[in-house]
């Protein structure tokens, strides 16, 4: 805004300088004189390719066709400002009294080519030229150290500014060009020390955007002072309203409210085409906040209320804008529904890949984690409940920190699967995606946890334990097949569906039914997507079961050996029936392990034969052979003793 007033102000002041000769010069000579005066004041060349018309009373006016203002010497070749027509009207009676009061400035199809150079200087800085030549100092350019124009507002009073079909292109050094077209602007400033009313219309791809506002003490605003501001932006049924105070350098403080029924179209109108937000995360937005913004890019939001289409957040946010924005936020919510994040395309229903049927394999869809590099900062979130579509959380407190594409989510604690979890999860995308965590948990319902995370719901009970893990890859399948780590768990009373262990021990048939146990303990290691366990212990009323083997977390399969033992059978000696469980999670095969049974039988036969042989040798050799004594050694000792006895009898003459 201040740029427009400085440009048009330079034109007006030039007109005033040559006012004495306006009636005596033809249009082309007048245009040449105005151009010379403007170049002397700003260092820029004004060109008029068309006719120049004049009016005298009561408005002293100039209307020029084909107007262009040259660019800075370091900028592109095209003019900085062009307009099909430019009209300036000055109040002749006020001018006779020594006051410059501009009745109107009207431009048809004006276009501004704005750009910055490597040092950040803008081509809109109009350098004042002295007899000694050009100067790029702040004083020469009409600015003070803070970048505020001296007396711009005090030197101008424009009752009306009208731009029709305007356009702006902005090329920051090294950045893509940003363009706005089809802009209509009407600005009314009836009192020099009063309020300005403005109305702007922008034709945008997402629809027509209308901006209406008022700025109090507009002259002071143009001079860099903070003034009262009220602005309303509308597009279709969308509305944004700001009421507060603001300055021309960008500083602002006040109350911001907004409502949109279609955020995708609103973002398109703002120049962010192709962006869409999931249901419950911003397809519809209603928000309000106390806002403070400083020219160095610091934004604070207080008393924030944000409704993202059913999900309501309250709290405070601090944001520092830059190449990589930095945020600090403290938010609270009641019931959050984030099922849309894991929804299948075109459904809107949460169908997380983790909840796929057991044995069907993990998703191989590419996981795009580039969003981890979009910002750095920390977020503290307190919730009453949260539904991700695959996992449901209870009342929890979470802390998220992001630093250079590495996110750490901490639980303090997290209510999930009927119990609590403490620890942290890490997602690192600095050099390919990796996910890991270190968690301790208590009261976790295993049928919920394994069912929702792994599609396996046969094990029931409350678990206590710890888990450390690390996975690599950009697909769920790759991560699960690369898992490494360790952990342990303890379960109190529970049951395992799919087979009846006690029935198997009683009758030899254990298919179907369930196994109820008093306690279950195990420790395990993770390597290359496989869980290895060697110390499973399940205690039942009359049966004890030991287990060892592999559970394929990546391949979703098992190769596991259960060895239940019934202590009160077989004459008190007990009976063990090893069971081999193999195959996919969804349809495992459970059968006796004959190799284990056969090995046990062979060991029993060998033991019986050894006992019988010891008894016979003891009788023959007339020596006592201990059960733990080696038979070959016993035979040798017995023969030696017999030889000694025979020799002794011979020497004694017997």
Q: Would you state the structure tokens that stand for residue 450, as one six-digit string?
A: 């394994």
Predicted confidence at residue 618, as pLDDT, reads 63
The pLDDT of residue 627: 61
pLDDT surpasses 50 at 93: yes
Quickly state the pLDDT bin for 199 (edges 50, 70, 90): very high
Structure tokens at 137: 């100092």
For the ranges 240-244, 315-319, 349-353, 385-389, the lowest mean pLDDT is seen at 349-353
How many residues are there in the chain?
654
For the cut 80, the answer to whether the pLDDT of residue 146 exceeds it is no
Q: Among residues 468, 466, 508, 489, which one has the least CA distance to residue 592?
A: 508
Which of 338, 321, 143, 369 is CA-nearest to residue 248? 143
pLDDT value of position 243: 96
User: Domains of the chain: which residue ranges?
Assistant: 1-192, 343-491, 609-651
Q: In the prediction, which pLDDT does 313 show?
A: 94
- Cβ atoms of 228 and 256 within 8 Å: the answer is no
Q: Which residue has the higher pLDDT, 471 or 91?
A: 471
pLDDT of the residue at 18? 47
> Which range is least confidently modeled, 75-84, 451-460, 475-484, 638-647?
638-647
Which percentage of the chain shows pLDDT scores above 70?
70
**Structural Rg of the chain based on CA atoms:** 43
Average pLDDT over residues 352-361: 53
Q: CA 314 to CA 334: how far, in whole Å?
A: 10
Residue 299 pLDDT > 60:
yes
How many alpha carbons lie under 13 Å from residue 269 in its C-beta half-sphere?
22
Average pLDDT over residues 287-300: 95
Judged against a pLDDT cut of 80, whether residue 647 lies above it is answered with no
Spacing of C-alpha 594 from chain mean position: 54
pLDDT of residue 597: 55
Q: At residue 173, does pLDDT exceed 70? A: yes
Residue 577 pLDDT > 80: no
Per-residue pLDDT, 570: 56
Alpha carbon distance 242, 258 (integer Å): 9
Q: Is the pLDDT of residue 644 over 70?
A: no
**pLDDT level of residue 346 (50, 70, 90 thresholds):** very low
Residue bearing tokens 């030899």: 508
Find out whether 134 and 127 touch, Cβ atoms under 8 Å. Answer: yes
pLDDT computed for residue 42 by the predictor? 67
In percent, the amount of the chain with pLDDT more than 90 equals 35
pTM across the whole model: 0.70
**pLDDT for 522-563, tens place per residue?**
999 999 999 999 999 988 877 888 999 999 999 999 999 988
**Residues whose CB is less than 8 angstroms from the CB of residue 388 and which lie 6 or more positions away in sequence, other chains included:** 338, 339, 341, 342, 350, 352
Residue written as tokens 């924030």? 304
d(CA 407, CA 401): 6
The dihedral built from the CA positions of residue 19, 21, 27 and 33, taken in this order, carries a sign that is: negative
More confident residue, 259 or 221: 259
Query: What is the pLDDT, as a whole number, of residue 503?
Result: 65
Q: Identify the pLDDT of residue 26.
A: 54
Residue 462 CA to its chain's centroid (Å): 33
For the segment 614-619, the average pLDDT, to the nearest whole number, is 62
- Ranges 56-65, 382-391, 405-414, 549-558: which has the least confidence: 56-65
Residue with the bigger pLDDT between 426 and 570: it is 426
Q: Quote the distance between the C-alpha of residue 244 and its chain's center.
A: 31
Q: What is the mean pLDDT of the chain?
A: 79
* pLDDT, average across residues 167-173: 88
Q: Would you call 194 helix, strand, or coil by DSSP?
A: coil
pLDDT at 123: 82
| Residues 611/625, Cβ–Cβ less than 8 Å | no
pLDDT at residue 23 above 50? Answer: no
**Contact (Cβ atoms closer than 8 angstroms) between residue 157 and residue 100:** yes
| Among 47-61, 117-131, 350-364, 440-454, the least confident range | 350-364
Provide the pLDDT for residue 138.
Answer: 43
The answer to which of 66-80, 312-326, 609-623 has the lowest mean pLDDT is 609-623
C-alpha span between 82 and 276 (Å, rounded): 37
């Amino acid at each position: 805004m201040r740029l427009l007033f400085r440009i048009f102000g330079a034109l007006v002041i030039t007109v005033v300088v040559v006012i004495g000769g306006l009636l005596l010069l033809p249009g082309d000579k007048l245009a040449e004189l105005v151009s010379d005066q403007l170049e002397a004041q700003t260092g820029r060349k004004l060109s008029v390719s068309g006719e120049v018309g004049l009016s005298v009373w009561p408005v002293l006016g100039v209307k020029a066709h084909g107007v262009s203002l040259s660019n800075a010497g370091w900028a592109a070749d095209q003019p900085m400002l062009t307009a099909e027509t430019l009209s300036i009207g000055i109040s002749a009676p006020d001018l006779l009294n020594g006051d410059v009061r501009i009745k109107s400035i009207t431009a048809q199809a004006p276009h501004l080519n704005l750009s910055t150079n490597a040092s950040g200087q803008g081509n809109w800085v109009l350098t004042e030229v002295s007899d000694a030549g050009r100067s790029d100092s702040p004083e020469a350019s009409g600015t003070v150290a803070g970048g505020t124009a001296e007396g711009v507002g005090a030197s101008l009073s424009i009752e009306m500014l009208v731009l029709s079909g305007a356009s702006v292109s902005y090329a920051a050094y090294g950045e893509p060009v940003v363009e706005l077209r089809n802009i209509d602007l009407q600005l009314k400033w009836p009192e020099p020390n009063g309020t300005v009313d403005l109305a702007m219309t922008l034709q945008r791809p997402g629809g027509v955007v209308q901006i209406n506002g008022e700025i109090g003490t507009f002259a002071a605003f143009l001079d860099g002072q903070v003034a009262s501001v009220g602005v309303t932006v509308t597009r279709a049924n969308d509305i944004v309203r700001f009421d507060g105070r603001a300055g021309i350098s960008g500083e602002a403080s006040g109350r911001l409210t907004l409502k949109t029924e279609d955020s995708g179209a609103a973002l398109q109108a703002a120049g962010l085409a192709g962006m869409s937000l999931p249901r419950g995360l911003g397809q519809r937005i209603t928000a309000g906040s106390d806002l403070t913004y400083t020219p160095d890019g610091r934004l604070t939001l207080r008393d924030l209320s944000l409704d993202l289409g059913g999900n309501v957040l309250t709290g405070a946010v601090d944001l520092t804008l830059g190449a990589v924005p930095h945020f600090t936020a403290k938010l609270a919510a009641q019931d959050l529904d984030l099922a849309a994040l894991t929804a299948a395309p075109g459904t809107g229903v949460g169908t997380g890949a983790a909840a796929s049927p057991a044995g069907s394999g993990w998703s191989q869809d590419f996981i795009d984690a580039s969003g981890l590099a979009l910002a750095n900062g920390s977020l503290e979130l307190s919730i009453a409940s949260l539904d991700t579509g695959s996992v449901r959380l209870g009342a929890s407190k979470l802390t998220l920190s992001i630093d250079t594409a590495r996110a750490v989510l901490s639980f303090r604690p997290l209510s999930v699967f009927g119990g609590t979890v403490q620890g942290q999860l890490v997602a690192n995308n600095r050099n390919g995606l990796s996910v890991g965590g270190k968690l301790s948990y208590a009261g976790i319902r295993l049928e919920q946890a394994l069912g929702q995370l792994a599609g396996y719901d046969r094990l029931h009970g409350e678990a206590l334990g710890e888990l450390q893990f690390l996975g690599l890859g950009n697909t769920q399948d790759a991560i699960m097949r690369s898992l490494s780590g360790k952990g342990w768990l303890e379960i109190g009373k529970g049951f395992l569906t799919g087979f009846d262990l006690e029935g198997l021990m009683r009758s030899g048939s254990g298919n179907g039914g369930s196994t109820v146990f008093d306690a279950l303990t195990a420790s395990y290691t993770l390597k290359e997507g496989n869980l290895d366990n060697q110390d499973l212990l399940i205690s039942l009323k009359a049966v004890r079961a030991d287990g060892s083997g592999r559970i394929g977390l990546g391949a979703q399969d098992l190769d596991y050996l259960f060895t239940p033992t019934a202590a009160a059978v077989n004459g008190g000696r007990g009976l063990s029936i090893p069971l081999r469980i193999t195959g996919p999670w969804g349809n495992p095969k459970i059968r006796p392990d004959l190799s284990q049974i056969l090995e046990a039988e062979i060991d029993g036969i060998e033991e019986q034969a050894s006992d019988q042989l010891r008894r016979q040798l003891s009788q023959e050799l007339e020596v006592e052979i201990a059960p733990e004594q080696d038979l070959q050694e016993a035979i040798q000792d017995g023969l030696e003793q017999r030889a000694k006895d025979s020799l002794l009898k011979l020497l004694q003459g017997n």
